[in-house]
Amino acid sequence: MAKNTKKADGTFTFFDDVYAVVRQIPKGRVTSYGAIGNFLGTALSARMVGWAMNAAHNQKPKVPAHRVVNRNGMLTGKFHFATPTLMEELLMKEKIIVKDEKIIDFKKHYWDPSVELGL
DNA sequence: GCATTGACGAAGG
DNA sequence: CCCTTCGCCAATG
């Protein structure tokens, strides 16, 4: 998927790629920005993944951004959702336990695109 | 064009 | 796991 997706200018279609990957995260699973970045080839700049997510809420096919957290499993982006509680609410529905802004057993729920999707 | 900021990551403590 | 420092790249002022 999309690693080579770039415009004529050389600008990667970062948004599309990120959204595409995030949408493929199975229910009850979560991943980190770095993992997505790694899969897209922008591993060194995980910030760009997060930045791309900034526009995610504008996307027509809603991106399950609640399944994307930082490397520690912390819901760092919860304040960017419609409501600050929406993120953990959604995660709870997927049987993911969130305690104190963090995901319990993060490693157990971890979903690496470069592995699960078969890099 | 430089400085600041950011839904981050790794390493050291 | 939390904190600090540094690095990363694009957007913004």
Put simply, whether the predicted model's pTM sits higher than 0.85 gets the answer yes
CB < 7 A from strand B, the residues are: A 32-35, 37, 46-51, 53-54, 56-57, 65, 68, 70-72, 76-77, 80-81
- Which bases of strand B sit closer than 7 A to a protein CB? 6-10
pLDDT per residue as tens digits for the range A88-118: 999 999 999 999 999 999 999 999 999 977 7
Q: How far apart are CA A15 and CA A18, in angstroms?
A: 5
Q: How far apart are CA A63 and CA A112, in angstroms?
A: 17
Query: Which among A112, A98, A117, A115 has a CA at the least distance from the CA of A36?
Result: A112
pLDDT per residue as tens digits for the range A78-96: 999 999 999 999 999 999 9
Tokens of A7: 């415009």
